[in-house]
C-alpha cells in the first residue's frame, strides 16, 4: 500500500544547475536552479523555471539568453551559495572565486570552472504560477576536455553532476552505470 504525499514537487532525479545571465549593464550573475530539464530534441531545448523576484528572471527577460552550467560534485557548495543570495546583493561569481566568460553565441556568461555548459537563447516564457518556465533553445554545448570520453562525448561519470532532492533539500552525486538505453529492455522484449 502506497502512502500519499499530496500535490508536491517531490520527484527524483532532479538536477541542480547554475544559470548564468547578464544584467542590463552587462554584469554577470548566476543562480541555482533545480526546476529544469530537457523539453525538446529538435530544436534541442531545455526549460528552467524561475520566480519573478530573482535577478535571473529580469536578466533573461532583458537579454533573452542564459547559460546552463552543470556542476561537478566538488562545486556543490558554490551552487548552494548561488541559491542563497541574489546578484542584487552580492557579486556571486567574484565572491565564490569563479570566472565568468562570455558565451560564444548566446548573450550570457558561462562559468569557466564548470565542466559542461549549454548556451541558450530564449524561445518562450510560460507563466505557470509562482514560477515562469523559460524555454531555451540550446545553441551550443561546451565541455572541458577532461570530461570527454572515448566516444567523443562528455560523460556523466567524468562530470559527476550534482543531483538535488526536493523537500529534503539534500545534494547527491551520481552512482554506477547500470546499462545501455534502448538495449537493456530487449531481454524482456524478446522473452
Ligand X SMILES: Cc1cc2nc3c(=O)[nH]c(=O)nc-3n(C[C@H](O)[C@H](O)[C@H](O)COP(=O)(O)O)c2cc1C
Q: CB count, 10 Å around CB of 133? A: 16
Site residues for ligand X per CB under 6 A: 16, 29, 31-35, 49-51, 54-56, 80, 82-83, 85-88, 164
CB of 117 to ligand X, least distance (A): 18
Q: Give the Cα separation of 52 and 2 in Å (integer).
A: 36
The residue ranges of DSSP E strands in the chain, in sequence order, are: 14-15, 17-22, 28-33, 36-40, 45-51, 65-70, 100-102, 109-111, 116-127, 131-143, 162-165, 170-173
CB of 152 to ligand X, least distance (A): 31
DSSP sequence for 45-56: EEEEEEETTSHH
CB of 88 to ligand X, least distance (A): 6
- The three cell numbers of residue 130 are 509562482
State which residue has the least CB distance to ligand X.
83
Nearer to ligand X, 55 or 108 (CB): 55
Nearer to ligand X, 44 or 83 (CB): 83
Nearer to ligand X, 129 or 179 (CB): 129
Nearer to ligand X, 88 or 99 (CB): 88
Nearer to ligand X, 32 or 118 (CB): 32
Q: Give the Cα separation of 92 and 98 in Å (integer).
A: 9
Q: Give the Cα separation of 53 and 70 in Å (integer).
A: 23
For residues 32 and 85, the answer to whether their CB atoms sit within 8 Å is no
Nearer to ligand X, 119 or 164 (CB): 164
CB of 70 to ligand X, least distance (A): 14
CB of 49 to ligand X, least distance (A): 5
CB of 79 to ligand X, least distance (A): 7
- The three cell numbers of residue 170 are 539534500
Amino acid at each position: 500500500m502506497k502512502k500519499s504525499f499530496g500535490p508536491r514537487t517531490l520527484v527524483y532525479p532532479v538536477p541542480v544547475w547554475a544559470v548564468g545571465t547578464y544584467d542590463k549593464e552587462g554584469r554577470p550573475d548566476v543562480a541555482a536552479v533545480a526546476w529544469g530539464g530537457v523539453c525538446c530534441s529538435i530544436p534541442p531545448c531545455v526549460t528552467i523555471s524561475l520566480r519573478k523576484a530573482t535577478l535571473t528572471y529580469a536578466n533573461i527577460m532583458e537579454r533573452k539568453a542564459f547559460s546552463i552550467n552543470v556542476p561537478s560534485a566538488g562545486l556543490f557548495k558554490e551552487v548552494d551559495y548561488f541559491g542563497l543570495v541574489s546578484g542584487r546583493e552580492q557579486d556571486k561569481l567574484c565572491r565564490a572565486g569563479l570566472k565568468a566568460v562570455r558565451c560564444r553565441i548566446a548573450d550570457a556568461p558561462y562559468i569557466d570552472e564548470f565542466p559542461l555548459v549549454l548556451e541558450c537563447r530564449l524561445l518562450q516564457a510560460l507563466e505557470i504560477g509562482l514560477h515562469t518556465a523559460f524555454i531555451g533553445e540550446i545553441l551550443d554545448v561546451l565541455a572541458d576536455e577532461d570530461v570527454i570520453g572515448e566516444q567523443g562525448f562528455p560523460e556523466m561519470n567524468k562530470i559527476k553532476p550534482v543531483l538535488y532532492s526536493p523537500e529534503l533539500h539534500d545534494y547527491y552525486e551520481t552512482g554506477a552505470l547500470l546499462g545501455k538505453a534502448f538495449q537493456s529492455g530487449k531481454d524482456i522484449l524478446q522473452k
